[in-house]
Structure 1
Amino acid sequence: MVGYQTDEFDNLSVTPVKQAAEAPATLAADLPATIHRGESATLKTTFTVPASGDAATGLTLRPGAPDGWTVTATTPTTFSKVTPGHSVTASWTVTAPTAPATPVSETFTPLTTYVRDGVRHWTYGTAKTEVPIPPPTGSPYLSDLSFVSSSNGWGPVERDTSNGEQAAGDGLPITIRGTVHDKGLGTHTDSDVAFFLGGNCSRFTATVGIDDEVAPYGSVTFSVTADGRTLTTTPVLTGTSQPLPLDLDVTGAQQLHLVIADGGDGNAHDHADWADARLTCAG
């Protein structure tokens, strides 16, 4: 058996005590505004303890690099103590990835962990950089290039496979009326995939059609635009239509869009392929 006792307070009052909070430590980060793919730069962080208050002890600084970046420390990153009013710095060499999926804008979130006034602290900084998409050269397949942007009506745009279902990487080999294509993009209505050409390319070629994984169903139109100008829009193609070759002049274009729209009956079964989509470029 458990017993309980209660207390009663008459005329209880609480008087707030105002006390200024201790000034926080700060972490500043410096990074070049632009780092090209595959190139290296220096990320520098500066941790500062305010002049008032306690020292910081047991410091560890981390770079907070995005996925895919290579990071190598070029200075010490741990410090036993930073006294009030003083700073320490740590630097890393960071190398941008080259994968097609590399984001154009990247944010580093460096972190310092330390003890101050007997309490464990975490202080974050922020540094942003742009990773431009380089102009294509030679005769690249579009499935090997970075997307400026992409939208898709059913799961993500797939590289070198059909659209499949909603998960990434769940497509089958691109197949249109029995012909298998090793390269291309698998999409689904409504879809828009953009590529940076930088004025360096002259031709775009592809074979388009509804993928056999949904045939004989599906109906779509394929459009190609360059810098806002429509270069072609196909007739409605269905799951029984023969593959349609495209060969378009894209001379001087800065940005290319591959667009899929439904054929007027909704987007069910609209798995549309840009088979063997390829550019002819200088360099």
Structure 2
Amino acid sequence: MRILTAAAAAALLVMPFVPLASAAQAETTGPPMGWNSRTLGCSVSESSVRQAADALARLAPLGYRYVIIDDCWLAPQRTNGALAPDPARFPAGIGALADYVHGKGLKLGLSLSAGTKACTGGGPGSYKSEAADARQVRDWGVDYVKYDWCSMPTADFPGQNVQQIAQALYPPMRQALGSGVVFAMNNEDGSTVPWLWGKDGGATTWRTNVYNRPIADNYPNMTDIWETNQLRAEYAGPGSWADPDLIQAGRGGMTETEYRAQFTLWAIGASPLILQADPAQAPASVVANPKVIAVNQDRLGVHGTFVRTDGWYHVLAKPLANGDRAVVLFNESDRAATISTDLGDGRHRVEDLWTGTVTSTEGELAAQVPAHAALLYRVGESRGQTPPPLVTFEADPPRFLGEDRTSVLEPGVTGEIVTRVTNTGATARLRDVEVTAGAPAGWRIEARTPARTGRLDGGETFTVKWAVTPPADTPPGTYQLTFTRDGQSAVAVVTVARAPGAGTTYLSDLAWTRATSYFGPVEKDMSNGDRAAGDGRPITIGGVTYPKGLGAHAPADIEFYTAGRCSSVTFQAGIDDEVGAGGSADFEVWADGGRVAHSGLVTGAMPAREVTASIEGARFVRLVATNGGDNATSDHADFADATITCQ
């Protein structure tokens, strides 16, 4: 390793942070789009990168252009002081790979580390070699550098905090790379706060989620990262974009609705659209919508901000270069909900960018948004012939704000579902409004009130009540009822559940309606193994083994449908012996909306504690384990011998 002279080191320590000239910014017209090899890990190779480039080339007309190798490309040691690719993984070298990628009309990216070592794979970092390494990657034809925060030499910066160290180490690499290379700062560790100085430091993008907790392919993690990203909106803008991490579509851990939600939120946030899945596997229905991408790449470069947010329901907007607005309605909850916003005076043209439907409104925008969905609209002045009025079509709307539990039907028992059609746009009268219904095979569904009306004036609502009966042998689970009117559809997601029978029953012998666990799924008759279903062990607390019970990792929440027919719940609360004396939790019982019992703090060093709760009259009962007020480490929460008594 090259050693700085004492004088040079001292100068670096006291050097003030000086904003780089704007010429140092990479010449990008919008947030970067492309693919990152993270999923491949250290199995990445010249062949796999070429295959990804071949697939990404098909998306190039939409703006996808960067093929980014994320770690494990470096040889363990430098060659004559210079960076070298791993000869087994990249035998032809990076220059040849860059030529191949450029031949596809794409650009090549590499990861480097600002510290002494690469994050993964054992290669060298660029600390004290910034100029030479920048020159090397430029000579290879690299167009994008992801600059990581690993093996940082904090001891070389006495008296400096993490932010000051980052501000000393990142601008030199940016300056050395020059304006033709995208510079992606990947250094948020909770203390570097790159949003405060990233733009002045020449960053094309700066990560907003902690670098060593990358985005995961699940909905809760994605929304957590998005919420953090929104807190940085004021610092983002053209040429220096907030980066909430990679697009997950195609990996398989979320539904298409959830993948569209992520893509929508990243689009209105002017965030990089970098795919993590193999580009050949990324669904075109999510990642290849040119109108959604146009919102992301709009030349104003504005990061969309909240118009309003109410718990789970969010409205975001941003101005577009042609004078239009992009508006997002995002339903973060587990049940479809109607979200609305006031667009202001005048007649507005409203285009749903996911469906292509064009409508008009005198001021209100409202839609029933499915659970976990985000709808994206382009709103502009209505000119010429007015499109048909915007219609809000609701199926089984929530009874109160914040209700996120789907309606429950019992097998063989008739329940009621409501639909509503509202002439929200009010730019014309609706005529001959008729609603039809569809249900799974064997279900019975019929209108209790008229399903057709001759007209619907602006602002008026037409309500239909439906009698719905699942067959008596319908298994527990969720089902869809689809309602249509004039080409528009609305879906009610309902849960079929059976209340426990008379007598005392083990809860692990029943089907729950909902269950969440911090790590891994909730398990029946075993502890939680933190990963896949069925990976737990026999439930054991204080040396006592319990053959029956529920195992979870706190925080956890398990809900059962009781239909007002049950009287009590009893269980032994404890932290499973498999985690030793660590771990802590408070075990709670909730009856409908109120807590009716709890264990108090239970730790891994304690024996099981019995919890009994009265649940008379409750339609739903929840067993909840909190993390004990500290963190979730080792919180393997067991509801041992859990039983319910019903009439």
* Fold equivalence (TM over 0.5): yes
Distance (whole Å) between structure 2 residues aligned to residue 208 and residue 227 of structure 1: 21
| Contact 1:36 1:96 survives alignment (8 Å) | no
Name which of 478, 482, 499 aligns with 1:104.
478
| Contact 2:516 2:522 survives alignment (8 Å) | yes
Corresponding residue for residue 633 of structure 2 = 268
Q: How many residues align?
A: 183
Name which of 257, 262, 275 aligns with 2:622.
257
Q: 2:538 matched to 1:157?
A: no
User: How do 1:45-124 and structure 2 match up within 5 A?
Assistant: 96=473, 98=475, 102-106=476-480
Q: 2:570 matched to 1:187?
A: no
Corresponding residue for residue 136 of structure 1 = 500
3-state SS of 1:143 partner? helix
Corresponding residue for residue 167 of structure 1 = 532
Distance (whole Å) between structure 2 residues aligned to residue 204 and residue 153 of structure 1: 23
CA deviation vs aligned residue, 1:49-76 (integer Å, no higher than 9, x gap):
xxxxxxxxxxxxxxxx8xxx99xxxxxx
Corresponding residue for residue 603 of structure 2 = 238
TM-score by length of 1: 0.57
Alignment-mate amino acid for residue 540 of structure 2? T
Alignment-mate amino acid for residue 542 of structure 2? R
Corresponding residue for residue 3 of structure 1 = none
Distance (whole Å) between structure 1 residues aligned to residue 409 and residue 595 of structure 2: 33
Over 3 Å counting, the alpha-carbon distance change for 1:278 and 1:132 in structure 2 is: same
TM-score by length of 2: 0.26
CA deviation vs aligned residue, 1:110-131 (integer Å, no higher than 9, x gap):
xxxxxxxxxxxxxxxx998855
Corresponding residue for residue 206 of structure 1 = 571
Over 3 Å counting, the alpha-carbon distance change for 1:227 and 1:127 in structure 2 is: closer
Deviation at 1:163, TM superposition (A): 0.5
Over 3 Å counting, the alpha-carbon distance change for 1:107 and 1:214 in structure 2 is: farther
| Contact 1:152 1:187 survives alignment (8 Å) | yes
Over 3 Å counting, the alpha-carbon distance change for 1:184 and 1:107 in structure 2 is: farther
3-state SS of 1:275 partner? strand
CA deviation vs aligned residue, 1:179-202 (integer Å, no higher than 9, x gap):
111111001111111111111111
Deviation at 1:264, TM superposition (A): 2.3
Distance (whole Å) between structure 1 residues aligned to residue 499 and residue 581 of structure 2: 38
Alignment-mate amino acid for residue 263 of structure 1? G
3-state SS of 2:596 partner? strand
Over 3 Å counting, the alpha-carbon distance change for 1:187 and 1:196 in structure 2 is: same
Deviation at 1:232, TM superposition (A): 1.6
Deviation at 1:234, TM superposition (A): 2.1
Runs of 5+ unmatched residues, structure 1: 1-33, 40-64, 71-93, 109-125
Distance (whole Å) between structure 1 residues aligned to residue 523 and residue 595 of structure 2: 24
The answer to which structure has the higher strand fraction is: 1
Distance (whole Å) between structure 1 residues aligned to residue 581 and residue 493 of structure 2: 47
Deviation at 1:37, TM superposition (A): 4.7
3-state SS of 2:505 partner? coil
Distance (whole Å) between structure 1 residues aligned to residue 481 and residue 555 of structure 2: 30
| Contact 2:549 2:639 survives alignment (8 Å) | yes
**Fraction of identical pairs, as percent:** 38
Runs of 5+ unmatched residues, structure 2: 1-407, 414-439, 443-470, 483-489
Deviation at 1:104, TM superposition (A): 2.8
| Contact 2:474 2:496 survives alignment (8 Å) | no
Instruction: Detail structure 1 runs of 4+ shifted over 4 Å in the superposition.
Output: 34-39, 94-97, 126-131
Corresponding residue for residue 245 of structure 2 = none
Q: Structure with the greater relative contact order (CA < 8 A, sep ≥ 6): 1 or 2?
A: 1
3-state SS of 1:162 partner? coil
